[in-house]
Structure 1
């Protein structure tokens, strides 16, 4: 146990070497890079310098950000600088606009039929989250408009306990974000959540279901949990309340996720297991979810904890699925093509193992 604590402390120290609160805005970066619009809903408090930091706000704020993606960007990479960014080779924040009212957001959504909400995980700043969402939207082609739900993470390796409290604090804001989008006329809302963001998403849905049974399926087109940092038994208890999750409910896992292994062992769980690195899907067999095993792509991924965003090979497969989806119509989403309705077990879990060659093995636990 001591060596896992040492790893955690080392990460905390390294994470504190750079002032990650710095957020430089360079509109001229768009003369070099490709513009990517990322909307944001945040429960972070606005600081005196105009940035959104780790303090918790008493209201939800909607924003529009513009990211410049460098011309030489390679799928799966995310290069940026906290100060003096270089637009020719780094992601750069080119613009930030606050919406005074929800109607201003509606005007900018311009009748969008679909919005994908990206929910970040532990140890993330707002600008980093916007960059990651822009990278995913560019590399995969997330459905519809892209919006990040930026909850008040401490943005520090040593801020895990603070982030756990902030994750619970942020439940209402995430539900409000979804309800606002629906009230503005967006027919389809999807959630893509990473790490602790998966725990936040599940807690939000559980809370909503207790207030209004059936809320999740009525309001969400689909949910994708990527490497969720969530106890398996807690997930089961949440699903017992949710009962009827959104029809497209996908969990991406990797058995070689180093961060989740440390997270699990620090909690004293057997074999360091969390939902995102689960070795057996037996405990999930009764739930109508699709479990996509991405372990085979760990070797070429920059991060074992975010294979879906940092493995060029996997991104190529997801991007190809998205292109097929756009060619043959909207009825099959890019992720849904990996688990076609014809092979999905509607009465329980469907396990999909992706191989390095892009082949898919489907089974039911």
Structure 2
């Protein structure tokens, strides 16, 4: 299995709890492939952080490449939980050590299980996320030509995310930061909609914030989802970029001009209490994950405490060392980050 190369000879180990609706890999028979499971799978993976890790870099074992323990994120151990009670017991122990704080990450389109697992670990290190990290792995095909399969899987997967959130709450989580990337943002919004419709107020109340990174969602669909949810969990932060090549392609496939992750016209969401952060000036690779890939952006958000302030609801709408242009229309705020601001924050 690509994500299980063997014990890792390093000492920085990050446990990642997993809730997944992925079934078996049809080729290898291994768990967490791309097929769909109607039963929620539970696990924990202990991931080692390479001693030579550099901010924004994600390197992990791939077929055909020699593993480098100094630079690769590696699997140090794993545990499956056939019994939900055992899963919650270990979660409860972890939550006690992290003060009841947890972050749950929902990966995006064209992701294998391993990619999302190592990505969350990398973000956990670079952003100093709460020690209780939970990875929700929905059944993405893990192939660039699997867009239609993934779109259907995103709808299929919402019940599994809802159950994972419920079990995290039942284990004692007091503050849950929910992070969705790309098509995982669609899974996130559909799940929040279902939670609202079911009247599951206890789970909604435990959400300390929602982050949508490069969300691959139709803007009108997002508005309808938000209308059904009602008051959005706060803070509600959306990272965008018009330079996002993946979302441009998604727009062409959908026959639309904008996805939520490329939206610039704040008036289209002005009645919603959201903060949109434009990261286009920090474009890295295809621009679809600037928040996790660009070292300057990571350092800026971390060093100035700007991200923490946003997550604590302290964004005032006024410029500071960490922000560039700030625009507010009704309830919505748009912040355009700039490298010049980052240089200012370094002093």
1:60 to 2, 18, 40: 40
Give the match for residue 104 of structure 2: 117
Aligned to 1:191: 178
TM-score, length basis structure 1:
0.83
Q: CA deviation at 1:217?
A: 4.0
Say yes or no: does 1:76 pair with 2:59.
no
Call closer, same or farther: CA 1:33–1:90 in 2, change over 3 Å: farther
Question: In structure 2, how many angstroms separate the alpha carbons of the residues matched to 1:238 and 1:353?
Answer: 25
Q: In 2, are the aligned partners of 1:248 and 1:336 still within 8 Å (CA)?
A: yes
The offset of 1:215, in angstroms, is 6.4
The secondary structure found in structure 1 opposite 2:52 is coil
* Counterpart position of 2:325: none
Kept in 2: contact 1:216–1:242 (CA 8 A): no
Give, in whole Å, the separation in 1 of the partners of 2:218 and 2:70. 42
CA displacement at 1:72 relative to structure 2: 1.2
Residue deviations 1:291-342 (CA, integer Å, cap 9, x gap): 11111111xx2340000010110110122245x89xxxxxxx45436x6244
Aligned to 2:339: 356
Could you report, residue by residue, the CA deviation over 1:75-99 in whole angstroms, capped at 9, with x for unpaired residues? 1111122244221221222222112
Whether the 8 Å contact between 2:13 and 2:47 is mirrored in structure 1 is yes
Change (3 A) 1:108 1:358: farther
Question: Which residue does the alignment assign to 1:150?
Answer: 137
Which residue matches 1:103? Answer: 85
Are 2:223 and 1:236 aligned?
yes
Q: Is the 8 A contact 1:290 1:350 kept in 2?
A: yes
Determine helix, strand or coil for the equivalent of 1:283: helix
What residue number does 2:208 align with? 221
Equivalent in 305, 310, 327 of residue 293 of structure 2: 310
Length, aligned pairs only: 325
Q: Distance in 1 between matches of 2:41 and 2:336?
A: 39
TM-score by length of 2: 0.87
In the TM superposition, what is the alpha-carbon distance from 1:213 to its structure 2 partner? 7.1
Distance 1:152 1:139, change over 3 A: same
Give the match for residue 336 of structure 1.
311
Equivalent residue, structure 2, for 1:285: 270
Contact 1:216–1:244 (Cα < 8 Å) also in 2:
no
Aligned equivalents of 1:33 and 1:278: distance in 2? 42
1:153 to 1:104, Cα distance in 2 relative to 1, 3 A: same
Aligned mates of 2:146, 2:252 — CA distance in 1 = 18
Provide the C-alpha distance between the structure 2 equivalents of 1:57 and 1:211, rounded to a whole number of angstroms: 23
Q: Per-residue deviation at 1:279?
A: 2.1
CA 321–105 in structure 1, closer or farther in 2 if over 3 Å, else same: farther
Q: 1:39 and 1:70 mapped to 2: Cα distance?
A: 20
Distance 1:264 1:156, change over 3 A: same
- Tell me what 2:12 maps to: 34
Gap runs ≥5 in structure 2: 319-327
Match of 1:86 in 2: 68
Which is further off, 48-57 or 343-352? 343-352
1:252-297 CA deviation, whole Å, 9 max, x = no partner?
1011111111110222113xx2100112211011101111111111
Query: Is the 1:45–1:53 Cα contact (8 Å) retained in structure 2?
Result: yes
8 Å contact kept, 1:33–1:87? no
Q: How far does residue 220 in structure 1 lie from its aligned partner after superposition?
A: 1.5
Q: Is the 1:191–1:223 contact (alpha carbons within 8 Å) kept by the matching residues of 2?
A: yes
Q: Which residue of 2 aligns with 1:251?
A: 238
CA gap 1:46/1:267 in 2 versus in 1, 3 angstroms:
closer
Which position in structure 1 is the counterpart of 2:121? 134
- Counterpart secondary structure, 1:53: coil
Local SS of the residue matching 2:247: helix
Q: Which of the residues 31, 35, 51 maps onto 1:51?
A: 31
Q: Given the superposition, is the C-alpha separation of residues 144 and 245 from structure 1 closer, same or farther in structure 2, using an over 3 Å criterion?
A: farther
Residue equivalent to 2:157: 170
1:39-97 Cα shifts (integer Å, max 9, x gaps): 11111114575431011112112211011221111111111222442212212222221
Task: Supply the distance in 2 between the matched residues of 1:119 and 1:237 (Cα, whole angstroms).
Answer: 21
